[in-house]
Chain A
């Protein structure tokens, strides 16, 4: 019964993972015909590469920042969508769209919105005489603005997923509890911080940990919006691995970069599964 799923995971996850590990301890290039074991040389080499160090820092910054924003945004959205109101279903559908639509298409849309020449945001600011046409903010050209842009676009993409999870958790809270709190005189924020959020903590953990894993391992938004630029200031581990391993032809170093965070991700995955289990039990 589980055989198709097992085959799928082995073929599409297990085999590439094993190959990445095998490559990472070799000197394999894209055109190599022989395999030479080099031990941990690639891992030592990348630690001396300033671009890799920057990518590592950016990966954490990108993941942590976007997950904080996702958590805040999805909690607000989940609370807003909890109670029935006319058009709620339609609104839920709209909010889910960024998650359902291919991330590449969404990112291309944002690329044009943030484009140096055709940015609709810049156009509005210029028309309002808030900025000069030739000195407008370069959303993807200034390191800080570029990092902010990729974080916000990724947040936009990830928020629906977290919202759906939190919404499920929210609706599972028995209505008697907040009602009893209201009778006892608890206001909205007191109920939120002392009842709702503590009760949803296991499910919030699930949303955050799954989101963090997705974010750590994804390069689509960054690849489409900035390609890691300006001058590597938005480079993250997956994009650096792609540039080195595929475009730069050094498969071994690319593989070493890509599996560098595996220990961190394994711990995150373990915590995610544990949280999911606890959420299921409660």
Chain B
């Protein structure tokens, strides 16, 4: 009996012992296997460039993703890579079928169409709240043949002209050049002036800024790589006129340094006081405001230069997020993009007006913000960007950004055409013909 009573366990004691045991087991396993404790928490991996404006990454990594992660019980991991590594990294992830859930390109990644989700539902979701995306975003992320959105673009970066007001005032252009002809005329006067001598800084190298500037010149003279239907259309009188113009512009206003540039060379050149005009994003003026306030007062902005046919320029950078087919957290990635657009006004401010919205209603007071920037001298320096969509277009204009356009862009066919003619390596006619043949060869591969 006593044995029996000794073995008896009261209900209270049973609950106490088992409860303690369960708690102990739980605590121990949580201590030893923390990943199991966080089993419910998801992970979202993002890779994107190291933004030119450090404040943007600070906000994106330290505030937005943290808050988003807490709200969605997700551990958001953001990796940053240099611009030059983006394509190689993307190729590696696709090859391994493993990597990040969200991958950000800085140009339309049409070549990866078969490896990504159709981003239509992200666009549709955002559209319900903020209206349709701008044409520039659609033309950069949509394949009209397959009817697939191969990327989602949250923003783009304008590519205005940056000119030294003190220099241009001395040659009769106090507000800078408005047309390509004025750039040639004023640039020549500055260059030939023995007291000045500053060259123009339109690149002719195998790099991003040259790619953009040469397309702006080509389009404003009426030429283009392809027509609206995606057929090669480079070999035209308009293209020839643009090439001849660039040859003259180089000879009259520039130095051979433009053949050796990387994307930051024109920034450095104008900030160092050497160049009179460059085509670049507002990285130039933002750098000046931070590091060289005196020079900042002299460097002013102009819209894209007007050519004989139109006023037009490419976007400088096109932010294009893709969700890989093999992404592990597809739904989280989609939701993240939707929420990024919902908070885009903060993103716009954090980027110091570098990233412009692909859904304009997300920044309803954009013109007011651009017209009264506390860092700018004068404070309305950035106001000219208020109508950027009237002159900014996509790579591939007047058609869509296709894989063939992407290869033409990344193998620098257009800068090479202009450069060879500028240096008399080829006649303008021969340079245009050679570039046209190369474009046809590339387009042929992607059909």
Interchain CB contact under 8 A, B259 and A231: yes
Q: Known contacts being A231-B420, A247-B410, is A134 close to B199, with CB within 8 Å?
A: yes
Q: Select from chain A the residue with minimum beta-carbon distance to B407.
A: A248
Interchain CB contact under 8 A, A31 and B111: yes
Q: Select from chain B the residue with minimum beta-carbon distance to A118.
A: B268
- Give the Cβ gap from A91 to chain B, nearest Cβ, in Å: 34
Interchain CB contact under 8 A, A138 and B260: yes
Of residues 410 through 447 on chain B, the ones whose CB sits less than 8 Å from some CB of chain A are 410-412, 415-416, 419-420, 423, 425, 434, 438, 441-442, 445-446
Q: Select from chain B the residue with minimum beta-carbon distance to A132.
A: B197
- Give the Cβ gap from A227 to chain B, nearest Cβ, in Å: 5
- Give the Cβ gap from B419 to chain A, nearest Cβ, in Å: 4
Q: Known contacts being A31-B112, A229-B206, A250-B407, is A49 close to B438, with CB within 8 Å?
A: yes
**What is the bound-complex CA distance between A183 and B387, given in angstroms?**
88
- Give the Cβ gap from B259 to chain A, nearest Cβ, in Å: 3
> Within 8 Å of chain A (Cβ to Cβ): is B351?
no
Interchain CB contact under 8 A, B415 and A116: no
> Within 8 Å of chain B (Cβ to Cβ): is A220?
no
Q: Select from chain A the residue with minimum beta-carbon distance to B420.
A: A231
Interface size class of A (residues with CB under 8 A): 35 or more
**What is the bound-complex CA distance between A276 and B31, given in angstroms?**
58
> Within 8 Å of chain A (Cβ to Cβ): is B269?
yes
**B256 touches which one: A50, A51, A141, A227 (CB < 8 A)?**
A141
- Give the Cβ gap from B46 to chain A, nearest Cβ, in Å: 20
**B111 touches which one: A33, A116, A133, A249 (CB < 8 A)?**
A249
> Within 8 Å of chain A (Cβ to Cβ): is B156?
no
**What is the bound-complex CA distance between A227 and B88, given in angstroms?**
15
**B261 touches which one: A27, A116, A248, A251 (CB < 8 A)?**
A116
> Within 8 Å of chain B (Cβ to Cβ): is A140?
yes
Interchain CB contact under 8 A, A231 and B416: yes
Residue-wise, chain A 221-240 has the 8 Å CB interface mask toward B (1 for contact) of 00000111111100000000
Interface of A is mostly: loop
Which B residues touch A139, using CB under 8 A?
260
> Within 8 Å of chain B (Cβ to Cβ): is A246?
yes
Interchain CB contact under 8 A, B257 and A249: no
- Give the Cβ gap from B105 to chain A, nearest Cβ, in Å: 11
Q: Known contacts being A31-B112, A50-B434, A231-B423, is A249 close to B268, with CB within 8 Å?
A: no
- For A45, A48, A250, the residue with the greatest tally of chain B CB atoms inside 10 Å of its CB is A250
Interchain CB contact under 8 A, A117 and B269: yes
What is the interface size of chain B, counting residues whose CB is below 8 A from a CB of the partner? 48
Which B residues touch A250, using CB under 8 A?
407, 445
**B257 touches which one: A49, A116, A243 (CB < 8 A)?**
A116
**B410 touches which one: A133, A228, A243 (CB < 8 A)?**
A243
- Give the Cβ gap from B403 to chain A, nearest Cβ, in Å: 6
Known: A140-B259, A229-B205, A246-B87. 17 other contacts (CB 8 A): A30-B90, A50-B434, A116-B257, A116-B269, A117-B265, A135-B255, A138-B257, A138-B259, A141-B260, A142-B256, A227-B262, A231-B423, A243-B411, A248-B411, A249-B111, A251-B91, A253-B445
21 A-B pairs whose Cβ atoms sit less than 8 Å apart in the complex: A29-B111, A30-B91, A31-B94, A31-B114, A31-B115, A45-B441, A51-B411, A51-B416, A138-B256, A141-B255, A226-B260, A228-B206, A230-B256, A230-B260, A231-B423, A232-B416, A243-B411, A248-B406, A249-B406, A249-B410, A250-B407
Counting from the closest, the 9 A-B pairs by CB-CB distance are A230-B259, A116-B257, A141-B260, A249-B111, A140-B260, A231-B419, A141-B256, A31-B112, A247-B410
